[in-house]
């Protein structure tokens, strides 16, 4: 038995033998999934290999936990989860698993493949609303560019700056918002809504 198979077996036993594990649902586990994801990020940024391996294990537990809940309901199991992601990776990399040429724009190629798979009408479809304004803005711009709408078309002007300078600019903007008595997240969300409106307008204009 591999360690992955042992983990699945352990989770199966916990669902039948531990009252807390038995009563959990997909919804009750959401906060743990978010917490464990952020702890993985923290380990990547500042931790050791042991720390990262531990946190990745905690995140893997969440995947196995959700799959076990679904399996008990006869919906899908961990094999289905693994099979779907493997199939998806093969389908989206024809230049690796087939004879296709490596695209010049790998990110754009990936996003366009997703759009076709999921029958998405807009570059904005499928972007989680729960993302922070900064993360969502980045995703919106990446998606828009992959759909032939570069930032300048949307009225976004980006100057040149090093990564260190960009970080300082973010902090300076937060400090400026604090001075003005504004919530930086809310202000960013307002600007993001305007950007998303411009994306949808540009898409509609292209027909």
- What does the domain layout of the chain look like in residue ranges? 3-84, 94-206
Q: What is the pLDDT of residues 177-206, one digit of tens each?
A: 989 999 998 899 899 999 999 999 888 888
CA distance 169 to 159: 12
**Would you state the pLDDT for residue 207?**
65
Low-confidence ranges of the chain (pLDDT < 70): 207
**Would you state the pLDDT for residue 78?**
97
> How big is the chain by its Cα radius of gyration, in Å?
21
Average pLDDT, the chain: 89
Question: What pTM value is reported for the model?
Answer: 0.72
Which CATH code fits 3-84? 1.10.287.1080
Q: What is the pLDDT of residues 1-17, one digit of tens each?
A: 899 999 999 999 999 99
Tell me which long-range contacts 186-193 makes (C-beta under 8 A, separation of at least 24). 188/133, 188/134, 188/137, 189/133, 191/133, 191/137, 192/133, 192/136, 192/137, 192/140
CA distance 178 to 184: 8
Q: What is the pLDDT of residues 20-32, one digit of tens each?
A: 999 999 999 999 9
């Amino acid at each position: 038995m591999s360690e992955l198979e042992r983990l699945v077996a352990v989770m199966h036993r916990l669902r039948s033998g531990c009252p807390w594990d038995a009563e959990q649902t997909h919804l009750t586990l959401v906060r743990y999934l978010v917490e464990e994801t952020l702890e993985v990020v923290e380990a990547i940024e500042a931790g050791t290999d042991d720390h990262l391996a531990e946190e990745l294990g905690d995140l893997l537990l969440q995947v196995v936990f959700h799959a076990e809940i679904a399996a008990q309901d006869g919906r899908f199991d961990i094999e289905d989860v693994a099979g779907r992601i493997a199939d998806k990776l093969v389908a989206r990399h024809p230049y690796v698993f087939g004879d296709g040429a490596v695209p010049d724009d790998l990110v754009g190629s990936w996003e366009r493949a997703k759009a076709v798979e999921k029958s998405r009408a807009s570059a904005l479809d499928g972007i989680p609303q729960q993302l922070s304004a900064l993360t969502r803005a980045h995703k919106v711009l990446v998606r828009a560019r992959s759909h032939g709408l570069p930032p300048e078309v949307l009225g976004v002007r980006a100057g040149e700056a090093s990564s260190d300078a960009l970080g300082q600019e973010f902090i300076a903007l937060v400090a400026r918002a604090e001075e003005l008595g504004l919530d930086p997240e809310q202000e960013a969300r307002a600007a993001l809504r305007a950007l998303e409106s411009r994306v949808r307008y540009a898409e509609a204009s292209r027909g």
